[in-house]
Structure 1
Amino acid sequence: MMAGMDDRLFVLMSMPRTGSNMLVSTFDSHKDATCLPAIFTAGGWRNWRARARRQPDDTVSSRMAKLPKKWNELDQRIADMPEFLDSVAAQFPDDKRIGFKHHMGPVDRKSTAQIIALKLPTIILRRRNILAAFSSGQIAKVTGQGSLSIGQKRKEAKIEFDAEAFQLYVGWWEAVYEHWIAEIQKTGAPCMIIDYTEARKNEGKARAATFLGLDAQALGQTQTVKRNPDEILKRFSNAASVESFLQDHNLMHWRVETEAEV
């Protein structure tokens, strides 16, 4: 970790549609931790500010609202990242851990490189079933609904499988993870990698909490629920085409996303 930075900070690195909101909610449920959304994106910043307006008694949002107004500018948060993160951490003096999520994004994403350079303890969230991530992302685009919270009404949709688009997605996805994991490991920062299917289980959540030095028994209830069915073919309007593609490419294990994949 960069000298002088608050040593309670950590980061959850992932790609979209890998369960990052689930893990944010998991960590935030712990009595000794606070975990924030994607504070180095415009959308993630808007999310907690909107929550503060809807729920003025929300502790996290009310404390974040006390930050200097200069941090409302994304460019400022990225340019002065160590100072900004220390300002955030200062709002939560009683927590043992303060974290935030960040989507790695393309290999030239400036904010990702800067976060990695801070050498924060890092949890990398992956999703081995790339078809699950791909379909989840496409459904989110159609429905306008990404993460699903407990009690929230689910918007139903099926998408059409495009083999060429999916193959391009797989290549991009694998290249992104390979690049950023290598960059993180170069720093020597404490790091653990967890798959989505493991992170869904209590044992996986406990392993992540233990990595951060938190009492795994003190985790509360995660406030998100799974958005789409584990039977991945049910997500597509042309399921037969998907199954044929998987069979031709020796990927039949991606038909269903189960905990057995861990």
Structure 2
Amino acid sequence: MTFTSFVMFAAMRTGSNFLEANLNAIPGLTCHGEVFNPGFIGKLNQTEMFGFDMAARDADPVAVLTAMRAQSEGLAGFRQFQDHDPRITEAVLNDPTCAKIILTRNPLESYVSLLIARSTGQWKLSHGGKLRSARVHFDATGFERHIDSLGRFYADLMHRLHVTGQTAFHIDYEDIQDIDVLNGLARWLGIEGRLEALDTKLKKQNPEPLSEKLENPEGVVEALAAIDRFGFSRIPNFEPRRPPPVPTFMAAAQAPALYMPMRNGPDDQVSAWLSALGDGLLEKVDQRALGEWRQRVGSVRSFTVLRHPLARAYEAFNTQIVENRLPGIRQQLVRRFALPLPAPDTVMEFEEQRTAFLAFLRFLKLHVAGQSGVRAEAGFASQTAMLEAFSRFRSPDLVLREGRLAEGLAFLASQLDLPCPALGPAAAPDRYPLATLVDDEIEAAARDAYLRDYEGFGFGDWRDG
């Protein structure tokens, strides 16, 4: 696809000014600001652009788009927020030649930043000595409205892109200062120019911890406790959606128990337990075979097992990458992501293992966000995404945790009125147990890769048990 223009969909206090400044520093790109802001054209206090005043723009906004393209050198674009002219949002979403950039930020951070900007009147900062700071009062009702507004805006965008068969370049506030990501954006737009250094004229406002920005930081805790945390899913995540992985399921041959593996969890342990519970496993697992099995065994209990994201990533790294069970992906990791892996079947030294695993975790961050270009691999998916995939077949009756697996399986057996087999020991890696490698840097990289799992399931530091 050759793009003729671009639009940056964003919201207030998401870093769109900084991203625009850096796009404008790339040869071949021009971002004209908030061209369709109801209060101005392009930038504050400007009332005319491309030969149109505000009245003419409002009368025929699509004509302004045409003029912008004609009067700009290179690829031209603009920023579009949820309160800007909806006719333009509709027009660009229907135009596959207009590239879509979608910028997001943690809604709590953007809301507090918005409160401070309103209090101080300072919306951009180009000189650190002119910083205006304020401690603001956190309004739980206002925060809930903020989340609802963002959720509707971004969910509508995602839905329209899906319906029209388009893709967008998704970028988060945390990544807009990553020059490699910005150059990746230029490459995606089809521009030859690259950014040599970040434009840092615009400064981050109020970099202090959240507790220092608020008069009532306890209000945040109360507000978050009152909000359905799963409502945050309305702010889009960009992990590829997956079909239900039915062929990976395991069913007890003679008992109504169905295991839905997350992949790279305690699968061997659970498989052996399930086989002991039901006199073996069902040999063939597909939807037809499962239907016949359910008719035979009666009311089924299905279950899955959560594993700590860091431990699960280490299992994937060892079994699928180091042991070369996915040779195509391993080759791409070495070639495209510079994973320092020796030839297959070569035993790595300790520092080699740690360095390669850390690089793998950083790859997983891109992969989970759908930005790696590597084919979707269920073993690398978040457990949140796997649960969503299971639900397209059936939701598990029980979600157990590896740390209390024996208790969870005993409860399952009691629900089936069956004696509970003993749970065998977990397998350990041949070399370098995770405890020997993990440190703050690795913990942070795992959290970055699987933030939805950490937040959604309440996982803490792996070292805390």
Q: TM-score range by the shorter chain?
A: 0.7 to 0.9
Given candidates 65, 70, 73, the residue that maps to 1:90 is: 70
1:226 aligns with 2:222: no
Deviation at 1:11, TM superposition (A): 0.6
In structure 2, the residue corresponding to 1:168 is in which secondary structure? helix
Give, in whole Å, the separation in 2 of the partners of 1:168 and 1:187.
Answer: 29
Taking structure 1 as reference, are residues 261 and 245 closer, same or farther at Cα in structure 2, changes over 3 Å only? farther
Matched-pair identity in %: 25
Deviation at 1:172, TM superposition (A): 2.6
Amino acid at match of 1:241: G
Deviation at 1:168, TM superposition (A): 2.8
Given candidates 17, 29, 38, the residue that maps to 2:13 is: 17
1:180 aligns with 2:161: no
In structure 2, the residue corresponding to 1:98 is in which secondary structure? strand
Match of 1:32 in 2: 28
Task: Give a deviation string over 1:111-149, Cα, whole Å, max 9, x none.
Answer: 32233223311001111x211011111111111111222
Given candidates 113, 121, 136, the residue that maps to 1:159 is: 136
Task: Give a deviation string over 1:189-234, Cα, whole Å, max 9, x none.
Answer: 4411111112232233222222212246335532322112252222
Give, in whole Å, the separation in 2 of the partners of 1:143 and 1:105.
Answer: 22
CA contact (8 A) 1:36 1:99 kept: yes
Given candidates 182, 207, 211, the residue that maps to 1:205 is: 182
Given candidates 54, 57, 82, the residue that maps to 1:104 is: 82
Amino acid at match of 1:19: G
Name the count of aligned residue pairs: 232
For the pair shown, the structure with the greater C-alpha radius of gyration is 2
Matches within 5 A, 1:6-85: 7-45=3-41, 47=43, 67-68=50-51, 71-74=52-55, 76-85=56-65
1:147 aligns with 2:128: no
Task: Give a deviation string over 1:84-106, Cα, whole Å, max 9, x none.
Answer: 2232222234x2x1111111238
Give, in whole Å, the separation in 2 of the partners of 1:204 and 1:141.
Answer: 30
Unaligned runs of at least 5 residues, structure 2: 230-443, 450-465
CA contact (8 A) 2:100 2:168 kept: yes
CA contact (8 A) 1:26 1:219 kept: no
CA contact (8 A) 1:10 1:98 kept: yes
Query: What's the C-alpha RMSD, in Å, of the aligned pairs?
Result: 3.2
Amino acid at match of 1:73: M
Taking structure 1 as reference, are residues 146 and 185 closer, same or farther at Cα in structure 2, changes over 3 Å only? farther
**What TM-score results when the alignment is normalised by the length of structure 2?**
0.44
**What TM-score results when the alignment is normalised by the length of structure 1?**
0.75
Amino acid at match of 1:213: G
Give, in whole Å, the separation in 2 of the partners of 1:247 and 1:86.
Answer: 48
